[in-house]
A and B are shown apart, each in its own frame.
Chain A
Amino acid sequence: MHRPLTVSKNPITEVMGADPGLTRLVWWYLASATAWLVFGTLIGEYLGLKFTAPDLGVAPWLSFGRLRPVHTNVVFWGWTSLAMLGLALWVVPRTSQAPIYSLRLARVSLWLINTAVVAGVWSLVSGVTNGAGEFREFIWPVMGLFAAGLAVLAFDLYRTIARRGTEEIYISNWYILAALLWTLVLVSIGYAPGIQRGLADTVIQGYYMHQGVGMWFTPMVLGLTYYFLPKLLNKPIYSYSLGVLAFWTQMVFYTMIGAHHFIYSPTPWLLQTVAIVFSVGMLVPVVAGTGNFLLTMRGSSRTIGVSYSLPFILVGVVCYFLGSAQGTLEAFRSLNQVWHFTDFTVGHSHLTMYGFVNFLIWGGVYALLPRLTGREPPHLAVGVHFWLALVGMAAYVGALSIGGTLKGLSWLSGAPFMDSVRAMESFWVGRAVGGTLMFLSHLVFARNLWQMRPDRAAEAAA
């Protein structure tokens, strides 16, 4: 028997882009997000190579220390944030059965966020950092622009939800607007003066760097998935109540666990213990969320197989579970002794931000844009994007997880520090290979996105 290498995928014929203004705006959010993705991961790729070739590119603005925060901040605030918001601009009005309150406000927000990221990159490359604490590297005038962008959008989406055509507020909107509100509170606290002297700043840093991920990216993509998954499978979500349970437990449990980034540090021991306990508690929203999505997918394997967006969502859901469970384990004092400060953590952040958040975004983009613009990307190219990204990520995370564990064990054994550097050499090569595949997949994605661009001629005719 000869089996074909590729499975033919169903074309998308449904057209939902009734409002060309909204379609174009969603496109601009996704297009600028993708430009940041290519830029941010090109930097990441280059930084990964520096681990095996440290004398590659010796200049202040090409140095590891200045570009590392450029990579993280660009993929956070540029790529991931704008992509999620672009999708949310469609999902919120759609699930609220109401037109968006103001397209102009959303346009203002796009400018504010893009300006913030440009200014932030420029300042970091020039050596201006807020204090070199993760994700808090932009100085406040820059982060203020970003926050203003979020505030404008939060208002816009709140007004849209307030004018909804349904009696109930669909669960997607709980997650999406909550993420915006939580992040506004978070940035205000992170940048608030008066609580920054001595170790107080470290307490805030643990809180900030943790919630920056879990109260922004996690609820945003979960909210989006509560729309895209049932929509694509053409059936309701397995359990609406599980979604609500996961929502409240996410808010209460996740908020408590920032201090687990500073286990065994001189921050208050009680705070660290609380963080560990609630890190275990996080299994509740994670199992509720992933279980809900997987049970919704149950019995639909054929639909997933012939769709080119659902495989991305499946990977995203699985990585949500794997990455979160990994996070719980890393919080335990016994395992933290092995993994803390090693490359294992970098693997973990890519399993979550990339495997979970990015894959869910890509699933959403491939589901939505063809329906808005009536233009599909080549199915084969979507497959190439999917497999390059998935295999690349597996190699990346695998190499750093194994290498990071060996590094931690080397430290525990009391061997000289340089032993742990030498132990990592081949794993850093593995990471560079995985990272290269991931970067190549982004080029394919950028091309696919371009294929899905709005058709001005068709708009004019309609």
Chain B
Amino acid sequence: MRLDFHKNHRLLFTVVAFGFLGLSYLVAIGPAISVQASNTPLPGSRSLNALEQQGLEIYLAEGCVYCHTQQVRALPQDTLRYGRASVAADFARLAPTDVWRQTPRVLGSERTGPDLSNVGARQPSAVWHYIHLYQPRAVTAGSIMPAFPWLFDVRDSAGPTDMTVPIPASVAPARGVVVARPEAKALVAYLLAL
């Protein structure tokens, strides 16, 4: 066979496929392996507990990442608002969820809402988060975040173990009390762990 890309389809498409594979190794697989080799969590940090891990899964399923990043860039506009710049070690504990699902991609790509890297420190009140998830506009005027009422139940009266959410009257249901479902509890636990 002639060494002519124009006439030798086997040569052309072999170079095309393996050339791309080689470049991909150089720019993706190789760097990924090297990053993974030095993958160490921050000393003194802890893993998510079972409830928080469940919260992370709800965070992903509800698509929170499409409007909230979790990466603070080493730029004044970020560090003044969100605190210390992120480092690789902050993400070291992220790993594939199970055999069906890959690694949670919490870094995100867009900030329709603010970064959440340390929202647990900036907004430590669980009650605030419950109200905010039930109806964001009850606590932040002008917010365009979706409301997540399906993370809550509306009951006639709360049981002794129920987490009742004090919803402002303007957005509260006409009757009954708003009680956090397990999903809301998990999600808030996750947010507070950030």
**A residues with CB within 8 A of B:** 50-52, 54-55, 58-60, 63-66, 68-69, 127-134, 136, 139-141, 158, 161-162, 164, 167-169, 174, 177-178, 181-182, 185-186, 189, 191, 193, 195-205, 207-208, 211, 215, 244, 251-252, 255-256, 258-259, 261-262, 264-268, 271, 274, 337, 341-343, 345-346, 411-412, 414, 417-418, 421-422
Contact = CB atoms under 8 A, between A and B. Distances in A.
Given A167-B7, A204-B32, A251-B23, A341 B147 contact: no
A417 B148 CA distance: 22
B16 to A, nearest CB: 5
A251 B24 CA distance: 10
A195 B33 contact: yes
B152 to A, nearest CB: 12
Interface of B: 5-7, 9-10, 12-13, 16-17, 19-21, 23-24, 26-29, 31-36, 39, 60-67, 69, 71, 73-77, 80-81, 85-88, 90-97, 100-107, 109-114, 136-137, 140-150
Interface centre among B12, B92, B93, B97 (most CB of A within 10 A): B12
Contact of B63 (A64, A140, A265, A266): A64
Contacts of A417: 81, 113-114
Contacts of B12: 169, 174
Give me the 10 closest cross-chain CB pairs, A-B, nearest first. Answer: A65-B63, A133-B105, A127-B61, A207-B28, A264-B73, A200-B32, A341-B111, A200-B36, A201-B103, A198-B39
A421 B142 contact: yes
Nearest to A133: B105
A78 B146 CA distance: 27
A59 B150 contact: yes
26 contacts: A51-B112, A55-B147, A60-B62, A65-B66, A66-B61, A128-B100, A128-B101, A158-B13, A182-B16, A182-B20, A185-B20, A185-B24, A196-B95, A197-B94, A197-B103, A198-B88, A201-B102, A201-B103, A203-B32, A259-B27, A264-B73, A264-B74, A264-B75, A266-B88, A266-B90, A414-B80
A19 B36 CA distance: 53
Contacts, number: 244
Given A60-B150, A200-B36, A421-B142, A132 B63 contact: yes
A52 B97 CA distance: 34
Contacts of A51: 112, 144
A189 B29 contact: yes
B186 to A, nearest CB: 13
Contacts of B149: 58
Report whether over half of chain A's contact residues are helix, strand or loop; otherwise say mixed: helix
B28 A58 contact: no
Given A189-B29, A337-B75, 8 more contacts: A51-B112, A51-B144, A131-B105, A158-B9, A200-B39, A202-B105, A266-B71, A342-B111
Contact of B31 (A58, A68, A177, A268): A268
A251 B60 contact: no
B157 to A, nearest CB: 24
Contact of A65 (B21, B62, B75): B62
A343 B26 CA distance: 31
A203 B146 contact: no
A449 B21 CA distance: 38
B24 A129 contact: no
A281 B161 CA distance: 62
Contacts of B105: 131-133, 136, 201-202, 205
A261 B109 contact: yes
Nearest to B144: A54
